[in-house]
């Protein structure tokens, strides 16, 4: 009889251990299925995907800098096409006026520009022909 009793005690102990293991696994599953745990897992997976995509984009940009830079510049120019059309004529006039002022400044520093000298050079060229 003691042998049977020992077997029953061992079986009861095994079943208690199995039950405790099942309860532990059930608690882990419950914790994993709570909304905050699901949200955290989703955030983690999305973060991993974003990191992978950023790495791929970074590698592509390293390998193809010039074409991507040209495409980016063209895209920005296309987005700003209406303001460019509106302000470009005024800006070009201002740049031309500034360039003329700079040219006049340097010309006056060296020698005053005289229109008669320009005509004389033209007349001398005609005489040579």
Mean pLDDT over 76-101 rounds to 91
CA-to-CA dists, residue 59 to 10, 68, 71, angstroms: 61, 12, 17
Q: Which range is least confidently modeled, 26-35, 64-73, 105-114?
A: 105-114
- CA dihedral sign of residues 103, 106, 110, 112: positive
Mean pLDDT over 63-67 rounds to 92
Mean of per-residue pLDDT scores for the chain:
85
Residue 8 has pLDDT above 80, yes or no: yes
pLDDT top residue among 7 and 105: 7
Nearest-angstrom CA–CA distance, 107 and 114: 10
Tell me, letter by letter, the H, E, C secondary structure of the chain: CHHHHHHHHHHHHHHHHHHHHHHHHHHHHHHHCCHHHHHHHHHHHHHHHHHHHHHHHHHHHHHCHHHHHHHHHHHHHHHCHHHHHHHHHHHHHHHHHHHHHHHHHHHHHHCCCCHHHHHHHHHHHHHHC
Mean pLDDT over 74-92 rounds to 91
Q: Where are the domains of the chain?
A: 82-129
Contact 127, 119 (CB under 8 A): no
């Amino acid at each position: 009889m003691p042998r049977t009793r020992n077997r029953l005690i061992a079986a009861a102990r095994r079943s208690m251990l199995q039950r405790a293991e099942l309860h532990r696994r059930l608690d882990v599953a419950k914790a994993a299925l709570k909304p905050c745990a699901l949200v955290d897992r989703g955030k983690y997976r999305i973060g991993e995907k974003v990191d992978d995509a950023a790495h791929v984009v970074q590698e592509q940009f390293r390998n193809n800098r010039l074409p991507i830079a040209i495409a980016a510049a063209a895209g920005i120019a296309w987005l700003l096409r209406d303001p460019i059309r509106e302000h470009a004529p005024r800006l070009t006039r201002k740049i031309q006026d500034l360039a003329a002022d700079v040219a006049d400044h340097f010309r006056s520093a060296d020698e005053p520009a005289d229109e008669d000298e320009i005509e004389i050079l033209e007349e001398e060229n005609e005489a040579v022909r």
